[in-house]
Amino acid sequence: MSSHSGQDTVADPDPSVLIDVENLSVEFPVSSGTLFSRNRAIIHAVDNVSLSIRKGESLGLVGESGSGKTTLGRAILHLQKATSGRVFFEGQPINSMRGRELRNLRRRMQIIFQDPYSSLDPRMSAGSIIGEGITIHNLASTRAEYNRRVAELLEMVGLNPEMARRFPHEFSGGQRQRIGIARALAVEPDFIICDEPVSALDVSIQAQILSLLANLQSELELTYLFVAHDLSVVRHISDRVAVMYLGRIVEVATSVDLYSNPQHPYTYALISGIPVPDPRVEARRQRVVLGGEPANPADPPTGCHFHPRCPFATEQCASEKPELRQIDTGRLVSCHLAEELMLEGV
Ligand code: SF4
C-alpha cells in the first residue's frame, strides 16, 4: 500500500498503483422492532479496509453474501458514501472531487453488474445502451463516428453489429451481459469493477464470459476488481485475491499462493470446498465444513470475527482482533495463528 499524508495531498504516490484504499469504513444505521420499542443498530458493512490495486492487474475480491464486498466496490467508485477513510485514483483523492473532475473520473471507472436482466433499460435498444456514455462524454464528433464505435464495441464483445437495433428482451442472459460489458467499455475506462458478472448466468455460459473479460483485460490493458462469492470463479482471472469476512479483509495473496498455500482458516475452508477433478486426490482431501452462518454484521463477534466458526480458535481469538499483517512477500493475513497452522491448498 502506498503512503499518503494530509487530507488531500499525496506523499510520493507509487506510480504502479491505480487505486489505493485507505482505512475505508462504510456503516449503515438499521432499526427493528415496533413503533414504540425501536432498536437501533449500526451495520459495519466495511470495517477499516486498506488495499491497493496495481495498474493492469486483476484483483479478485471474494466473500460470502453479507461480507461487504459489493459495498466496498461501490464505495471505491464513490457510488456509496464512505463513513470514514479515503480512496485514491492515481494518487488523487476521489472523496473530495466534485463537478467536472468527478465526472471525468467516473468515465475512467466503470462497473459491470451482476444481473444482466435488471441492469439494462428494457425501453432502450442495445445500440442506445452502449452509445449513451459515448454521447454523455462527447467521445464521437459525428453520427457516423458514433455508429462506427457502437458497431466496433458490439464486435469486441462477440455480438453482431446488426444487433444494435434489438431490445434487451430479444437477447439471452449471456448476450445481455456482453451488452453490459460493451456499455462499460464504450467510455474507454482504465478501471472496471466486475460485480459478480457471471453468477446469474448458466454454468455453460460463465466460462465464455470469463474468457471474454480476460481477453479484453489484456487487449485493452484494463485494471479489474473482480468481485465474487466463489473462489473457483476468480481463480483464473485474478493475479491476486483478497478474501473478505464480515467487513474485513482476512487474507490477500497472489492467486497461485492463495490456492496452493492458504494461510487464513476462512480461506482454507473456502478452498477445501472447491472440487478437485482427480478422484484419487479428491478422496484424500480434508474438507473443512464451516459451522453456522456468518454472524450478524450489526452485532459482530468480538476479537476475530471468524472465531465462532473457526476450528482452530483459541481464547485469544475471542478477545483480540488480529491485525492484517504481511507474513511473506506479497501476502497479508489477519490471523493470530498465521504461519503456525499447516493448511493444505489445491
Ligand atoms: Fe481462527 Fe483465531 Fe485465526 Fe481467527 S485469529 S482465524 S479465530 S485462529
Q: What is the model's pLDDT at position 328?
A: 82
pLDDT of 304: 96
CA-316 nearest atom, ligand 1: 2
Q: Whose CA is closest to atom 3 on ligand 1?
A: 335
* pLDDT computed for residue 273 by the predictor: 74
pLDDT at 243 over 90: yes
Q: Residue 316 — very low, low, confident or very high, per pLDDT cuts 50/70/90?
A: very high
Q: What residues have CB less than 8 Å from 325, skipping those under 6 apart?
A: 332, 333, 334, 338
Specify the pTM: 0.90
The pLDDT of residue 6: 46
320 Cα to the center of ligand 1, angstroms: 10
Kindly tell me if the per-residue pLDDT of 171 is higher than 50: yes
- Vertex 188 angle, CA 84 and 242, to 5°: 45
Q: Look at residue 5 in the predicted model and tell me its pLDDT.
A: 46
What average pLDDT does the segment 108-135 reach? Answer: 93
* Average pLDDT score over residue span 114-134: 93
Higher pLDDT, 9 or 244: 244
- Per-residue burial over 66-80, b if 16 or more Cβ lie within 10 Å, else e, is bbbbbbbbbbbbbeb
Which of 46-60, 93-107, 316-330 ranks highest by mean pLDDT?
A: 46-60
- The pLDDT, as a whole number, for residue 16 is 93
Measured from the Cβ of residue 185, the count of other Cβ atoms closer than 10 Å reads 21
For residue 30, the number of C-alpha atoms closer than 13 Å in the C-beta half-sphere is 13
Residue closest via CA to ligand 1's atom 7 equals: 307
Which DSSP string do the residues of 203-220 spell out, in sequence order? Answer: HHHHHHHHHHHHHHHHHH
pLDDT greater at residue 257 or residue 31:
257
Whether 9 has a pLDDT exceeding 60, the answer reads: no
pLDDT 10s digits, 99-120: 888 888 989 999 999 888 888 9
Per-range mean pLDDT, top range of 27-31, 167-171, 286-290: 167-171
Cα of 336 to ligand 1 centre, how many Å? 6
pLDDT in tens, 269-307: 888 877 666 666 666 666 666 766 777 888 889 999 999
Average pLDDT, integer, range 335-345: 80
Q: What single letter denotes the amino acid at residue 186?
A: A
Q: Which of 129, 95, 94, 110 is nearest to 222 (CA)?
A: 110
Is the pLDDT higher at 238 or at 286? 238
Share of the chain above pLDDT 70, in %: 88
Which residue matches cell numbers 457510488? 79
pLDDT at 125 over 70: yes
Q: Cβ–Cβ contacts within 10 Å for residue 52, how many?
A: 19
- Percent of the chain exceeding pLDDT 90 equals 66
Cα(92)–Cα(97) distance, rounded to whole angstroms?
Answer: 9
For the cut 60, the answer to whether the pLDDT of residue 3 exceeds it is no
Rg over CA atoms, the chain: 21
Residue identified by cell 464451516 is 290
Dihedral angle sign, alpha carbons of residues 73, 76, 79, 84: positive
For position 239, what pLDDT does the model report? 95
Binding pocket residue ranges, ligand 1, CB within 6 Å: 264-265, 304, 306-307, 310, 312-313, 317, 322, 335-337
Report the b/e string of 128-145 with b at 16+ CB within 10 A: ebbbebbeeeebbeeeee
15: left (phi over 0), alpha (psi -120 to 50) or beta: alpha
Specify whether the CB–CB gap between 139 and 187 falls below 8 A: yes
Is the pLDDT higher at 291 or at 315? 315
Task: Name the residue with higher pLDDT: 283 or 233.
Answer: 233
Between 121 and 7, name the one with better pLDDT: 121
Q: How confident is the model at residue 342 (pLDDT cuts 50, 70, 90)?
A: low
> Ligand 1: which of 302, 307, 339, 341 to mutate, judged by most atoms within 8 Å of the beta carbon?
307
pLDDT beyond 60 at 4: no
Report residue 176's pLDDT band, with 50, 70 and 90 as the boundaries: very high
β-partners of residue 195 are 227
